[in-house]
Amino acid sequence: MPVTHNRYRPATTPHIIPAEELDAGQKAQLVNGCPAGLFRYTADGGLTVDFHGCLECGTCRLLCDPDTLARWQYPASGFGIVYRFG
Ligand code: SF4
């Protein structure tokens, strides 16, 4: 069936999760390393990641060890944008 308009189906399960206990250096590595700027400091000094915008470039995975990223995997299929064609 042809796609008549762009559709976006966001994933509900994060495919990237920072570790719970991160020191300032580990947080800075994620915040400064992601080319999409998806890691951000929270007001209370924590860290969030907007995994929906991930480019799947792997930079954070290469920069960090398992003590920094609790999870890094490719996102589940069937989510994201489906472009209209025709
Ligand atoms: S894989 Fe790339 S775009 Fe995605 S969160 Fe890591 S550094 Fe950012």
CB within 6 Å of ligand 1 — which residues? 16, 34, 36, 38, 54-60
Q: Quote the percentage of the chain above a pLDDT of 90.
A: 71
Confidence of residue 52 (pLDDT cuts 50, 70, 90): very high
State whether residue 33 is helix, strand or coil. helix
C-alpha 85 to ligand 1 mean position (Å)? 28
Q: Please, what are the domains in the chain?
A: 15-74 (3.30.70)
Separation between Cα atoms, residue 31 and residue 39, nearest integer Å: 5
- The arithmetic mean of pLDDT across residues 2-26, rounded, is 90
State whether residue 57 is helix, strand or coil. coil
The atom number, within ligand 1, closest to the CA of 57 reads 2
C-alpha 6 to ligand 1 mean position (Å)? 24
The atom number, within ligand 1, closest to the CA of 34 reads 7
Distances (CA, A) of 15 to 2, 4, 45, 66, 75: 29, 29, 22, 14, 5
